[in-house]
Amino acid sequence: MKIDEVPQDTENSTYGDARKLVYAVDEHGDFVGVKSSGWVVEAEATQSALNLIEQQCDAAWQRARNGETAPLEYYMCYQRMDLALLSQVSGLFQWRIRRHFRPAIFKKLNHKLLRRYSEALGLGIDTLQQLPDHPLHGRQAHV
């Protein structure tokens, strides 16, 4: 890749305002670090992974809305985790977490367990207990 071939695709960039360093060849055949504001190929790949997470998030929200799962599952997706990761982070078995996804059981969860989820997900206990009016994504905060 030559310096003038380094992509600078600002549209739909997933870097925010940041620029990333890539290595490219200058006119003498030497390599130099060049700042790139994005490459559409990479942005699409990242976006595809994010879309998948957002779909799961929306689906979990809908099921929580319908009373088929607890808000906990929605917040797990919101924090970009899956069951395997939440299990590792909280130190609870997957089957236990799955059980806590049942709304009736989640409602009766004791403070100690709620605190564990709150710490694992980095969200307040109050937040965990209620579903927002709409599914949120990324850094949109739950109040």
Residues lying near another protein in the complex (CB under 8 A)? 1, 14-25, 29-31, 33, 35, 39-42, 44-50, 52, 79-82, 85, 88-89, 91, 120, 122, 138-139
Task: Provide, rounded to whole angstroms, the least separation between the CB of residue 108 and another protein.
Answer: 26
**Long-range CB contacts for residues 97-103, cutoff 8 Å, separation at least 24:** 97/72, 100/70, 100/72, 101/69, 101/70, 101/72, 101/73, 102/69, 102/70, 103/64, 103/67, 103/68, 103/69, 103/70
CB of 65 to another protein, least distance (A): 24
Cβ-based nearer residue to another protein, 103 or 127: 127
Residue placing its CB nearer to another protein in the complex, 50 or 59: 50
Q: Closest CB to another protein among 102 and 134?
A: 134
Hey, what are 80's tokens? Answer: 């970009």
Residue number with CB closer to another protein (41 or 104): 41
- Three-class DSSP category at 131: coil
Identity of the residue, 84 or 105, whose beta carbon is nearer to another protein in the bound complex: 84
CB of 9 to another protein, least distance (A): 12
* C-alpha to C-alpha distance for 33 and 81, rounded to whole angstroms: 34
Please, what is the minimum distance in Å from the beta carbon of residue 17 to another protein? 8
Residues 9-39 as b/e (b if ≥16 CB within 10 A, e otherwise) read: eeeebebeeeeeeeeeeeeeeeeeebebbbb
Task: State the minimum distance, in angstroms, from the CB of residue 61 to another protein.
Answer: 18
